[in-house]
Amino acid sequence: MICTFLSTTIVGIFMLQLWLTDRRHRAAGYWCLSMWVGSLCTLLFALRAVGPPLLTVGLGNLLAAFGYAFMWAGFRVFDRRRAHLAVILSGPLFWALAYLFVPQVTADVNNRIIVTSVIIAAYSLWIGADIWRGRRAEPLPTRTLAAAFFVSHGVIYGLRIPMAIMLPAAFGHGTAYSAWFALFSLELFAHTILAAVAMLVLIKERGEALYRQASRTDALTGIANRGSFLDDMQKRLADRPQGTLMIFDLDRFKAINDTYGHVAGDLVLKRFSALVAARLETGMLFCRFGGEEFALFAPGRDMACAEPFAEGLRHTVAALPIPTEEHEIAVSVSIGLADVATFGADFDRLHSAADGALYAAKEAGRNQVKRAAPSLGLPGLAERMKTPVTADVARTG
């Protein structure tokens, strides 16, 4: 009891500090409450031999139920799910009704063990299932281990039910006396420590994941930034060297900024990014390359297959007027295409070719899609290498 009290109190202090430092950590607030309630619960349990049963047994087990209910709520909030008040109150209410109005529970320690085991096992199994379910949206490294830990704790704690029926524990000094009851109490102490570690590690891992995500994301538009796009492109080109790179440039964007202001310009960038991102197909990479320039990689497509997709985006952008407070901004985009089949898997060469096609689209009047000329690619380079030097000199002369 002393060890459990000290551990829950210390963890409660850390959770409180974490929550006070950043109130966005709502889960830490619930977990802090869970630990403080657990500390008070343990203190009341330790006083069973001298305190009134209504206080040490009745209120103590009520607080134990609330401790697990708040822990469940914390994990729900951690995964951005709703923590239903009815679920938080159901366990404590079930205990209160059983203890106050069922004489067999009030008078028999083994029946009390059964009731509390049902409550705690149910919350633990639910917590484990929620942690496991959340791995799809946020695959933190500790999730699987934490889920397995809570599920196993729920199963182990549920085993107290058949033990209380088949091998009833004796009662003395306000608590149950039995070898199996002592072992389950030891497991509960270990669970308290491991649960606290799981909470703190998950918070740490989420912070690291958010930091990594922020470092790979463009702050204005919310899509990938240049650095993350280049990293992903290098992996794609190394694993499956096929596809088409598209370079987008919003037409006359400087004029939009000069005419309507930078706030309107930022709105144009965000709306354009959202429009393209909503139309991406599986496996496509899209980023803001810098300023009003964007890049998209369509794997598995040559320029002939990628051009209809690019044309569809161009038409959609042209049909998307962006309203401001006083005006409606018409937007168009020019797009240059270059594929791996023609220009190879070197990104710099691929980007240079797509950028040249984009420049050609601008020169041709903007709001167009242009393919990079094959003569600029590897075949053209090979032909030039086959040309005798003397011929080059003669033409120069």
333: CATH: 3.30.70.270
At residue 24, does pLDDT exceed 80?
Answer: no
Give the per-residue pLDDT at 356. Answer: 93
Question: What span, in angstroms and rounded, lies between the C-alpha atoms of 223 and 200?
Answer: 29
Is the pLDDT score of 396 beyond 50? no
* 256 and 143 belong to one structural domain: no
Question: CB of 72 within 8 A of CB of 127?
Answer: yes
Give me the pLDDT at residue 375, please.
61
Residues 94 and 242 in one domain: no
Domain boundary among 195, 215, 235: 215
Hey, which of 35-49, 83-97, 181-195, 250-264 has the most confident mean pLDDT? Answer: 83-97
Same domain? 59 vs 186: yes
Q: Is residue 221 part of a domain?
A: no
Confidence of residue 376 (pLDDT cuts 50, 70, 90): very low
pLDDT higher than 70, residue 182: yes
Q: 215, 239, 267 — which closes off a domain?
A: 215
Same domain, 259 and 357: yes
At 86, the pLDDT band (50, 70, 90 cuts) reads very high
Query: Residue 227: how many CB atoms within 10 A of its CB?
Result: 12
Cβ–Cβ under 8 Å, residues 175 and 159: no
Indicate if 207 and 264 belong to the same structural domain.
no
What φ, ψ does residue 368 adopt, rounded to 5°?
-140, 160
Among 91-100, 161-170, 182-191, the range scoring the smallest mean pLDDT is 182-191
* Structural domain containing residue 49: 2-215
Whether residue 77 is found in the same domain as residue 168: yes
Give residue 394's pLDDT. 34
Q: What is the pLDDT of residue 14?
A: 85
* Residue ranges of E strands in 159-205: 170-172, 175-177
Which residue type sits at 28? A
Q: Which of residues 181, 215, 249 is at a domain's end?
A: 215
Same domain, 80 and 116: yes
Q: Give the whole-angstrom CA distance, residue 397 versus residue 393.
A: 6
Higher-confidence residue of 393 and 2: namely 2
SS3 334: strand
Confidence of residue 384 (pLDDT cuts 50, 70, 90): very low
Domain membership flag for residue 397: no
pLDDT in tens, 241-295: 889 999 999 999 999 888 888 888 999 999 999 999 999 998 999 999 988 999 9
Cβ neighbours of residue 185 under 8 Å, at least 6 residues apart? none
Residue 36 above 80 pLDDT? yes
Lowest mean pLDDT among 21-25, 37-41, 114-118, 318-322: 21-25
Q: Is residue 396 in a domain?
A: no
Whole-angstrom distance, CA of residue 129 vs CA of residue 142: 14
* Position 385 confidence tier, pLDDT thresholds 50, 70, 90: very low
DSSP 233-270: HHHHHHH---EEEEEEEETTHHHHHHHH-HHHHHHHHH
What distance lies between CA 64 and its chain's CA centroid?
Answer: 31
Each residue's pLDDT tens digit, 120-130:
999 999 999 99
Give how many domains the chain has, as a whole number: 2
Position 136: which residue type? R
DSSP structural state of residue 292? T
Same domain, 88 and 120: yes
103 with 237, same domain: the answer is no
Cβ atoms within 10 Å of 157's Cβ, excluding its own:
24
Give domain status of residue 109, yes or no. yes
For residues 42 and 171, state if they share a domain: yes
Same domain, 24 and 106: yes
User: Per the domain annotation, does 356 fall within a domain?
Assistant: yes
Name the token pair of 279.
């139309």
Q: Backbone phi, then psi, for 307, in 5-degree steps?
A: -60, -45
Give residue 115's pLDDT.
Answer: 97
Nearest Cα neighbor of 275 from 359, 331, 219 is: 331
Q: Is residue 220 domain-resident?
A: no
Q: Per the domain annotation, does 10 fall within a domain? A: yes
Pair of tokens at residue 248:
């987008």
Q: What is the mean pLDDT of residues 83-93?
A: 96
Do 8 and 27 belong to one domain? yes
| Lowest-confidence pick of 6-15, 157-166, 226-235, 248-257 | 6-15
The C-alpha atoms of residue 297 and residue 370 are separated, in whole angstroms, by 15
Mean per-residue pLDDT of the chain: 88
Q: Is 349 exposed, middle or buried (0-12, 13-18, 19+ CB in 10 A)?
A: middle
In this predicted model, what pLDDT tens digit does every residue of 284-343 receive, in sequence order?
999 999 889 999 999 999 999 999 999 999 999 988 878 777 778 889 999 999 999 999
| pTM for the whole structure | 0.71
Q: Is residue 324 a part of any domain in this protein?
A: yes
Burial zone of 117 (CB within 10 Å; 0-12 exposed, 13-18 middle, 19+ buried):
buried
User: In angstroms, rounded to a whole number, what is the distance separating the alpha carbons of residues 92 and 94?
Assistant: 5
Rounded to whole angstroms, the Cα distance separating 144 from 289 reads 36
Looking at this protein, which amino acid is placed at residue 179? A
